[in-house]
Amino acid sequence: MGEKKIPFLGPSDRGFQQLWDSSYSGLVLRKSCSLPAELHSRVQAALLTLRKKGCLLKDLVRVRDRDVFTAVSRALLGEPGHTYRYLDTRLFPEPVGLEAQEKPVAQLKHSLSDYHIQDKEELAGGLGCSQPSPPQVCTGPVKFNVTLLNYMDPAQMSHLKEEPYYGMGKMAVGWHHDENLITHSPVAVYNYSCHDDKGNVEKSCWRIGLKVAWDIHTPGLMLPLESGDCYYMRDDLNSTHQHCVLAGETARFSSTHRVAECSKGTLTYIQSRCQEALSNLHTDPETGSHSLVTLQPTALQHCEEIHNEVEFEWLRQYWFQGQRYARFCSWWTRPMEQLEKDWKLMETMTMLFLATVEEEGQAEEGRREMAETLLSALTDRHQQRQTWRDRCHSSLAQTLPPEEAPVDRPFWGVDDPGMPLPFDLADIISRNVETKPGRTCLKNVLK
């Protein structure tokens, strides 16, 4: 309040184009008229159908250790088994049942992929439809692998934050860099403002705000969007700049296309990690009893890391988003069951590991290291379980209808005979950091 704002320029300001060229050259606008009318109508119909089917939901994300609902409602479309992670939330795209709606969006994606302008001169032409020159195809084809759809109706929002630094107006999405992308991933965004009447004054239409990161001298840039317009963030624009979305007066969809960094974000990846860990578990074919193949500290550490990864990056992430996909007959149901089975075997592995470390009268080499490894993995697990419990039971989470409410899973009671270790690891941790005479405890080992 009363603070001095940094200037920003819009299209009607002098020096706008010059500022764009000099400080925002990775931003490219592609006017609505450059896409076929038929594609517009198919994509827009698909977006409206997704809204009608209730596929677009607000995410309960985490920003600076606090839970918040996104102001926009979202849906992730993507290749089966691929996920997209942002704001401590892993989104699991749901291909089943949405296919009819996905097709036009996939078509849009291809169309946006093909269009990769080399010539920045295009920009000037791009602002009007007068220059029909076909866009140049870029150096290499872009393969967008995730599409994040956004939707917001400002009329339904009781409160939207004011853009704080420049005074650009109300924000639907605050300043951010897009996360979890490959380096220099282009981001292509299709803008569909419902019932957009042309000739809108700047204030009432949807706009994009851009700023140079860590810079309070370069003026910000404000780009108004008409329905059907697309914009691209190219080169390193997403990492060197931040962007925000400024709300107009109408309901509005955006279809955002990106190249996610998914080396650790696919179902195949986590399944193979689980296999790696489980290769250290031997099951006696006669008795069915379990034992660890190797007690090498590095191998055990590796297993405990995978254990935490599958529990916190997959199982809890998935269940935290509740049953929201269940009504579309989730593609993820079976894979998640299998991951949970694998995870449960890893609980057995940790139990065996713990038993070895706590066993009396053993003086193996590497025991100290084993003890340290175990204690650090368990402490991490314990803290992360607590964080997920808190997230699941937060007051915001309570406001969700039952079918969307977060589920704290896996969870089990103190004396669940089916589980090798307790859910709450506090006792194990504390008994192993306390000195207890006559027992070989981690604390003793660590001395």
Q: Which does 123 bind (CB under 5 to 8 A by kind): Fe ion, ligand AKG, none?
A: none
Interface residue with ligand AKG, options 181, 189, 315, 339 (CB under 6 A): 189
- Report d(CA 106, CA 370) in Å as an integer: 50
Binding to ligand AKG by CB under 6 A, coded x per residue (else -) over 137-166, reads -----------x-x----------------
CB closest to ligand AKG, residue no: 254
Q: For 260-278, b where at least 16 C-beta lie within 10 A, e where not — what string?
A: bbbeebbbebbbebbeebb
DSSP string, 219-231: PEEEEE--TT-EE
Which of the choices Fe ion, ligand AKG, none does residue 245 contact, using the CB cut-off of 5 to 8 A by kind?
A: ligand AKG
Q: How far is the CB of 252 from ligand AKG (least distance, A)?
A: 8
DSSP 314: I
User: What's the min distance (Å) between Cβ of 131 and Fe ion?
Assistant: 28
Task: Verify cis geometry, omega within 30 degrees of 0, for the bond prior to 410.
Answer: yes
The residues pairing with 91 across neighbouring beta strands, listed in sequence order, are 84
Residue number, 250 or 254, with CB nearest to ligand AKG: 254
What residues does 447 pair with on adjacent strands?
none
Q: What is the DSSP string of 112-151?
A: HHH-----TTHHHHHTSS---PPPPP-SS-----EEEEEE
Query: What is the rounded radius of gyration, in angstroms, for the C-alpha atoms of the chain?
Result: 26
Residue 181 lies near ligand AKG (rule: CB under 6 A): no
Can residue 259 be called a binding residue for ligand AKG (CB under 6 A)?
no
The smaller minimum CB distance to ligand AKG, of residues 84 and 343, is found at 84
Give the residue, chosen from 27, 28, 168, 173, that forms a contact with ligand AKG under the rule CB under 6 A. Answer: 173
148 binds, among Fe ion, ligand AKG, none (CB under 5 to 8 A by kind): ligand AKG
Residue 260 or 306 with smaller CB distance to Fe ion: 260
d(CA 84, CA 180): 7
Which residue lies nearer to Fe ion by CB, 28 or 428? Answer: 28
Which residues contact residue 176 at a Cβ distance below 8 angstroms, ignoring those fewer than 6 apart?
242, 243, 244
Question: Is 277 a binder of ligand AKG (CB under 6 A)?
Answer: no
Q: Which is nearer to ligand AKG, 188 or 445 (CB)?
A: 188
The nearer residue to Fe ion, 178 or 369, going by C-beta atoms, is 178
Q: Tokens for 361, please give them.
A: 């009268």
Q: Segment 283-302, which members bind ligand AKG (CB under 6 A)?
A: none
Q: Which is nearer to ligand AKG, 245 or 425 (CB)?
A: 245
CB 367 within 8 A of CB 358: no
User: Contact letters (x/-) for Fe ion, 176-215, by CB under 5 A?
Assistant: --x-------------------------------------
Burial class (CB in 10 A: 0-12, 13-18, 19+), 281: middle
Task: Tell me how far apart the alpha carbons of residues 194 and 45 are, in angstroms, rounded to a whole number.
Answer: 11
Binding site for Fe ion (CB under 5 A): 178
Binding site for ligand AKG (CB under 6 A): 148, 150, 173, 178, 189, 208, 243, 245, 254, 256
